[in-house]
Amino acid sequence: MPLEIRSPEDERSPIVISDEAADLNKLLNGTVCSRQGDEYEIRENIIDLLTDEPEPLTWVQSTNHWGLTAALYEEVWRERSLSILTGKDFPVEEEQKLFVKWLNMQPGDQYLDIGCSTGLYGRFIKSQLSDCVMVSLDFSSAMLKEARKRAAANNSSQYLLRADARHLPFFSATFDGLTMGGTLNELKDPLKVLYEARRIIKKEGVFYMMHLLKADTWYAKMLQNTTTLSGLSFWSIEESNHLFDRAGFKVTKQFDSGMVCFTRLVPA
């Protein structure tokens, strides 16, 4: 199914992206443009909507642009991070069970992973629901290139967009489901991104969120105080739920373990 997005230059103007871009086993290069004529490049299936020079990045955000970070992200960090941060054995498969229970995936639905990194969530959703429309969005070309490679190896068709999550390139009420895994802690303006998420989700949609909490031990607090200098932010459950509430979301389910919080959000 072709994907319709909103022009970054004119919010009234659509851009239609051919479903060829989602077939990641066939490299696609070219351009797409809106009815107003603004044009964007497609490089190896990645639709690049960022035409301006990026603003200064935090150190954490900068590392996401490194090819080595992208190459090692899943095996070295993502596969182990939940066990490290929860303080117990917590394989990725455990988190995937929450997907199935909370996201309520339905055939033909449209899903967006905000801050997709190497596309772990998108591949899992497609493995469960092959006929859904899956969009994976990130601002890092390195991460998206790795996401394309991994999705192609799994025959996982999906659209890959390079864009700024503070200005999501979609019309209101586009998506049945949204996901975000760990990205919230890295954002400079998390409330702005949450407002945008609220705008593009359908009235009956579900937003699956995983983020990190403030530490409750002295040694972990010392470590977090160090990492905040690199651009990471942490909240208590009450503080993060207040963020969700301000953005127009309601918490329907929540599970926390150690420093990790999983939340099921719906539009309020």
What pLDDT score does 74 carry?
Answer: 75
The answer to whether the CB of 34 falls within 8 A of the CB of 7 is: yes
Q: What whole-number distance in Å separates Cα of residue 194 and Cα of residue 190?
A: 6
Just give the CATH number of 55-267: 3.40.50.150
User: Does this model's pTM top 0.85?
Assistant: yes
Q: What whole-number distance in Å separates Cα of residue 94 and Cα of residue 198?
A: 27
What backbone torsions phi and psi does residue 230 show, to the nearest 5 degrees? -90, -5
Encoded tokens for 72: 């090692």
**For all residues of the chain together, what is the average pLDDT?**
89
What pLDDT score does 97 carry?
Answer: 85
What residues have CB less than 8 Å from 182, skipping those under 6 apart? Answer: 81, 115, 117, 210, 211, 212
Residues of the chain with pLDDT under 50: 218
Q: What whole-number distance in Å separates Cα of residue 52 and Cα of residue 68?
A: 24
- Estimate to the nearest angstrom the gap between the alpha carbon of 49 and the chain centroid: 16
Domain locations in the chain?
55-267
Q: What whole-number distance in Å separates Cα of residue 266 and Cα of residue 76?
A: 32
